[in-house]
Amino acid sequence: MATVTNWIDHLSASEVAGQVYPYVGTEWLWLTIAIVFWIWWHISTGTGETEEQAKLGRKKHGPNDYKKNIPDW
């Protein structure tokens, strides 16, 4: 059975008003950085894939080229 009946008497002011984890108050900054990075990553990945698909489209492979086992297909 617990011997503490009133936590207010056992906690000091420094324990109540202290920070629970480091960098308290910077959550919006980290969220903003994460969202900007996420949007940038999607745009850069989409651009790279579009360029790759355009490059493959310019090669004009025929319908039977897969039978020749082209390594850079």
10-62 tens-digit pLDDT: 666 555 555 667 788 899 999 999 999 999 999 999 999 999 888 877 877 67
**Residues contacting residue 4 through CB under 8 Å, at least 6 positions apart:** 10
Q: What is the pLDDT of residue 29?
A: 95
User: How distant, in Å, are the alpha carbons of 30, 32, 35 from that of 26?
Assistant: 6, 10, 14
State the CB neighbour count (10 A cutoff) for residue 54: 9
The answer on pLDDT for 65 being more than 90 is no
Predicted local confidence at residue 49, as pLDDT: 94
Measure the CA dihedral 34/40/44/50, to 10°.
110
Q: Looking at residue 68, what DSSP letter applies?
A: G
